[in-house]
Chains A and B, each alone.
Chain A
Amino acid sequence: MRTEDLISRLAQGLKPVRRLPSPLAMLALWSLFCAAIMAAAVLVAGLREDFAAWLVNGFALYSMISAALVALTAGYAAFELALPDRDQRWALLPVLPAIGWLVTMGWGCLADLARLGPEAFNLSISVPCLVFIIGLGLPMTATIILLTRHAALIRPTPVAALGGLSAAAFASLGLTVAHELNAALMVLVWHGIAVLVVTCIGALTGPRLMRRAATV
């Protein structure tokens, strides 16, 4: 087919399209959705029993703020990168908050070591962490993939990976409010593994999901 004929065919019966909201507006929508899901999950699971005491402990606040920053920056980067003309360095936006989260957890491990001695490094499997973050993170990842489906033909893999990271970080944030897990090493390992799993699944399956969603 000649290119000029293709243009005529594309223009023929052209339908109006609704312009996409800005990445900031998309982030606001996404954050509201995640906040509602987390609130519902906490309502079902209940607040952790030591919530008040835990919150006044400075470490809890830092870990929550850093997880929230990871969730917000990864989400914003996903919405920016989903647009064709945006700089791919947006992908680096969540790097600093992620390092911040790791440093907070590392600092917590050292504090536990000083407080409890070698006992602080006792590691057992925390099934609720994995079930909560992966169980909620995956459907939430599917939602952000749907919101960024226009990236299917642009750069689907980084957008899906960042979306997965954002969803998992929101789920991790919800879990810290609901589930009593005080050893920083346990949080670092199990939250870290669950977030990684969701991010990788997002990156691997996201492009196909986006293509499917984009053709519907």
Chain B
Amino acid sequence: MSDGQPATCFWTARPVTVRSTNLGEGRDARDLRWSAMMVAAQAGDARAYSSLLRECLPLLRAICRQRLREPAEVEDAVQDTLLTLHRVRSTYDPARPFRPWITAIAERRALDRGRGLARSMARNTGLEAADHIGAGGDAEHRLMSADLHAAVGALPVSQRTALRLTKIEGLSLAEASARSGLSMGALKVATHRAVQSLRRKFGMEP
């Protein structure tokens, strides 16, 4: 597309101007379409937003798969990406290609999750090395509790915080929100995902 040539946004029927040839480099028809859908989403078009996110899922999964091996971790990283994207959707500039914007967000979330996993593996190694300490009590119970501890430790910080405040300390959503600085919606989603993740890990969910 040449400088300043308007592309029609089929979601809003408004022209979207793509500015520079440099920035527009590599903007194929799909990128322009995604860009137009994002513009519509920024204007509050829920249908465009939903379609855009669904169309982007294969790309997001491919990016996260490059950094993470476990399919469940990949899916969690994709969900983290969607939540981040939702929070920073005002930062997308339609004069620039859409793919680098969404790719940068996905890579960051996958990287964060990978780092979290590495930290949790380091902690688990420490636990295994300390297995011989403390002989009393029910061994199976201790093992279960150590596994649970490790699984909670492996959760992303936001999920761990949400779980601790709402399920362990038993605070109300409003109290937990005031304490953590997270919105009530974000707390609900994070708690739900933390519980699902733990259920999956302990085989309590198919």
Contact = CB atoms under 8 A, between A and B. Distances in A.
A45 interface: no
A84 B105 contact: yes
Given A1-B193, A10-B86, A19-B42, A84 B91 contact: yes
Interface stretch (A50-58, A192-200, A207-215): A207-215
Nearest to B186: A215
Contacts of B82: 3, 6-7, 10
Contact of B90 (A3, A20, A154, A212): A20
Nearest to B184: A215
- Which residue, of A3, A20, A82, A83, has the highest number of chain B Cβ atoms within 10 A? A3
B79 A6 contact: yes
B136 to A, nearest CB: 40
- Which residue, of B45, B54, B91, B101, has the highest number of chain A Cβ atoms within 10 A? B91
Contacts of A4: 54
A8 B44 contact: no
B31 interface: no
A19 B42 CA distance: 7
Given A20-B91, A85-B104, A211-B181, A8 B50 contact: yes
Contacts, number: 91
- Place the interface of chain A in its size category: 20 to 34
Contacts of A19: 42, 90, 92-93
A17 interface: yes
B181 A85 contact: no
Interface string B38-68: 0001111111011001100100000000000
B196 A17 contact: no
B46 A14 contact: yes
Contacts of A85: 96, 100-101, 103-104
Contacts of A7: 50, 53-54, 57, 82
Given A17-B89, A214-B87, A3 B46 contact: no
Nearest to B182: A215
A143 to B, nearest CB: 19
Contacts of B96: 85
A212 B182 CA distance: 8
A127 interface: no
Leading 10 A-B pairs by shortest Cβ distance: A16-B44, A11-B50, A85-B101, A17-B90, A14-B46, A84-B104, A11-B46, A85-B100, A7-B53, A85-B104
Interface of B: 41-47, 49-50, 53-54, 57, 75, 78-79, 82-84, 86-93, 96, 100-101, 103-105, 108, 181-183, 186, 189, 192-193, 196
Given A7-B57, A14-B46, 5 more contacts: A6-B82, A10-B50, A18-B90, A19-B42, A154-B108
Interface of A: 1, 3-4, 6-20, 22, 82-85, 150, 153-155, 211-212, 214-215
